[in-house]
Chains A and B, each alone.
Chain A
């Protein structure tokens, strides 16, 4: 079936069986391999992406259900406003092997957006721990991840204009790492 959605700010149309996992469409059809598969059953969060501003596991989403949706993956996180989190992860040593990192970042940013929407304080440390509970990390003990998320939120809060809840459109269309992979997806700006 033909599914149309926005990925990292660009619109995308793709012809795939509707039950295919969003994760495979991203990784195989669109060549966006930043989103990882750690379990394929919703337990580890390595495949976390933002779907209409909410964090979800791409391994549990049939692509038919994202028709018309806006998706942000780690490749589009910076453009969507999550850069400060990425910088904090590097600075504070929150990424070790890096397998959980893309998913962790998407959850962290999802929690920030969620807090903005609900008028909650994203900085609450227990709140951060809960927000990341669906993302397993085996390397770090989560300590540096939580520290980095907290620092990233600080930077985000300092930004003159808070990022839009929906991802900002992205420029830079012809970067091969952003699509046109081996699959049959077509991306239009």
Chain B
């Protein structure tokens, strides 16, 4: 039974232009809210610390599109995970993102949770983050005063839940470069149960299969460091190798040097290290199977 003392203002702009104007005027006084699946949880958990106003992005149709451009797929910031999971464009080009989308919460959450919210929230357990890291995505930010800027996904986070987003900016879209032919991508997650669960560890792998060897390997992990991370040294070891489950164990030493998991409520550092290798094993096994199919 919610009854607030001072009424909280709630903006529901219908266009991006309107939204940016409100954002510029209100700055940090108005918290953007897309699907609200994070914001509404904070509102309940810390009712005394909420913002003075909310700025709803849910009604901005222009931010909901998934479109193919010349050399990239553009995903609007307020596209929901349900949309992502069903998108033929993504199924074809970024199957890993479809897999990640299907792993977010359950039906009710997928119908509301947006990819932009997932990224701005910036939890290292955000399921879409490793996929965006390996794509690698370009993050498109816009403000009323300064126009649009593009930030490489790898530069978007500056620390634990810290981003480069300014308080007059909104995240409007992601641009995922179209992968070259022969590219394989996959996502794996381990949580505390099979659905509606926050990741203990998750990983995304994207690579081009040339014959039976991996090229342009991109590997990212979530929940093993303060932010989502790419693993450049492990990627280098995988480069040119033929995918196999053994390979995961071969590179596990380097992998474990590159991640820095901790003990927390959901898991232990030791387990996260173990599962991180296990997830790579799964990814390489799947990749090898796909390569086998392609070869056959």
Contact = CB atoms under 8 A, between A and B. Distances in A.
26 contacts: A18-B12, A19-B10, A24-B1, A24-B2, A42-B40, A42-B109, A48-B108, A54-B82, A54-B111, A55-B108, A55-B111, A56-B108, A56-B112, A62-B10, A62-B40, A62-B54, A64-B54, A65-B59, A107-B107, A111-B107, A130-B195, A133-B106, A134-B106, A134-B108, A134-B195, A135-B106
A31 interface: no
Given A42-B37, A59-B40, A18 B10 contact: yes
At the interface, is chain A mostly helix, strand, loop or mixed?
Answer: mixed
Contact of B106 (A45, A62, A64, A118): A45
Contacts of B108: 42, 45, 48, 55-57, 60, 107, 134
B121 to A, nearest CB: 14
Interface string A2-33: 00000000000000011111001001100000
B41 interface: yes
A1 B8 CA distance: 10
B12 A133 contact: no
B1 A55 contact: no
Contacts of A17: 2, 4, 7-8, 10
A58 B105 CA distance: 15
A42 B43 CA distance: 12
Contacts, number: 103
A67 to B, nearest CB: 6
B56 interface: yes
A43 interface: yes
Contacts of B8: 17-19
Interface residues of B, number: 34
Interface in B20-57: 33, 35-37, 40-41, 43-45, 50, 54, 56
B45 to A, nearest CB: 8
A40 B56 CA distance: 20
A19 B196 contact: no
B198 to A, nearest CB: 10
Nearest to B57: A65
A107 B108 CA distance: 8
B58 interface: yes
A107 B111 CA distance: 12
A187 interface: no
Contacts of B12: 18, 64-65, 67
A61 B40 contact: yes
B160 to A, nearest CB: 22
A173 B35 CA distance: 32
Contacts of B37: 42, 60
B41 to A, nearest CB: 5
B86 interface: yes
Nearest to A110: B107
Contacts of B7: 17
A131 interface: yes
Interface in B221-257: none
A34 to B, nearest CB: 16
A41 interface: yes
